[in-house]
Amino acid sequence: MRPLTFGVVLSVGAAGGFGRDRLGDPDDQVLAAADRRLEASLDLRSATDLAFALRELGHAARVLAADEDLDLSLRAADVDACLLALHGRAGGRGEVQSLLGVRGIPYFGPGAAAVALAFDKVRARQMLAYHNVPVLPAVALGRDLRASERALALLGWPAVVKPRRGAHGMGVTPLHDLAAVRAGIERALAVDEDILLERAAAGTEVQVVLLGERVLGSAELVGRDDAGADVVCPPRLSRGRLDGIHNIARRATAALGLQDGLTRVDLIAHDRHNEVVLEVEPLPSLAKDGVVARVARAAGLAYPELVGELLDRLILRVPETRASAQPVLLQ
């Protein structure tokens, strides 16, 4: 493989303070700020580790911010292709992918439409249910929050409130009684103007990592609390149970058109019930200490080898003479 120049795109201020004026309670403001810091931290860790691995593999890496000047930055950096270290709204809306497509710059990952579909929890659940992929009962709410009490009564306790468009647990609050509803809604509104009320499910949380249509492996989340969660690879489940979970994950990625890229499918496995899909993450963290890298390592792929597999899927789309070298004027 000839040495190439890769752009590593990360978001800056992806949560952007959206809805900050709605947060009257100081505790809500603290939680929203913590969510934004988490997103920025995920981006930075992924971008740093990707850039280091690219250089270790003999390529040049240019870290680029997905801001209003990204188009100019791409032309100035003169990159051959891009890897996306995007988490949250900046990558989930598909705008960066659309810009790269217009510029003719190859990038690793699914297209803009597929990412935007998966990022929208309401549309994604509708598509998954249409393809008979099991999902939890949920109710979508907009600005009229008076329906939340009735929706919770229909869903039952416990429940979870989360932003309609969000990732990595940002703005997500478990609800055990009616008193917690208002604070949970305010936190979710800090991430997105629409929210989702979802029935909570007990059981073992399993995260399945797929590279294209191939299952790299899965991890069991243990000890989830305010300090985060640890992972066990592989999950402490029977081989037959894991095969069924992996099959559901494949069906979920196919239903959402996410066969190009790295995808993480989060599921709940209950001892007495069938498995259900919680989330399908089209832009999982690519940090070397993240779930994707740890699952790959358990499957025998060290982090540089994992990045090398991404490049192998991308390199054939990089032309010998790049069209991006030609000047393009935006009016």
Q: In the structure encoding, which two tokens stand for residue 156, read together? A: 């039952």
What confidence tens digit (pLDDT) does each residue in 156-188 have?
667 788 888 876 667 777 777 666 666 777 777
Residues of the chain with CATH 3.30.470.20: 117-134+202-281
The pLDDT of residue 225: 47
* Burial class of residue 325 in the structure, from the number of CB atoms within 10 Å of its CB (0-12 exposed, 13-18 middle, 19+ buried): exposed
The pLDDT of residue 177: 65
Pick the CATH number of 117-134+202-281 from 3.90.1300.10, 3.40.50.1100, 3.30.470.20, 3.30.160.250: 3.30.470.20
Taking the CA atoms of residue 198, residue 255, residue 224 and residue 148 in that order, the dihedral angle to the nearest 10 degrees is -10
What confidence tens digit (pLDDT) does each residue in 225-246 have?
444 568 899 999 999 999 999 9
The pLDDT of residue 1: 58
**What residues are paired with 82 via a beta bridge?**
7, 107
The pLDDT of residue 292: 95
Residues of the chain with pLDDT under 70: 1, 13-39, 142-157, 167-169, 177-182, 189, 224-229, 273, 320-331
The pLDDT of residue 144: 58
Angle in degrees, CA 102, 281, 72, rounded to 5: 30
Q: How many CB atoms lie within 10 A of CB 326?
A: 8
Residues of the chain with CATH 3.40.50.20: 5-109+318-325
* Burial class of residue 71 in the structure, from the number of CB atoms within 10 Å of its CB (0-12 exposed, 13-18 middle, 19+ buried): middle
3-state SS, residue 97: helix
- CATH code for the domain defined by 138-199: 3.30.1490.20
Nearest residue to 285 via CA among 88, 6, 87, 96? 87
Residues of the chain with CATH 3.30.1490.20: 138-199
3-state SS, residue 61: strand
Pick the CATH number of 5-109+318-325 from 3.40.50.2000, 3.40.50.300, 3.40.50.20, 1.10.3210.10: 3.40.50.20
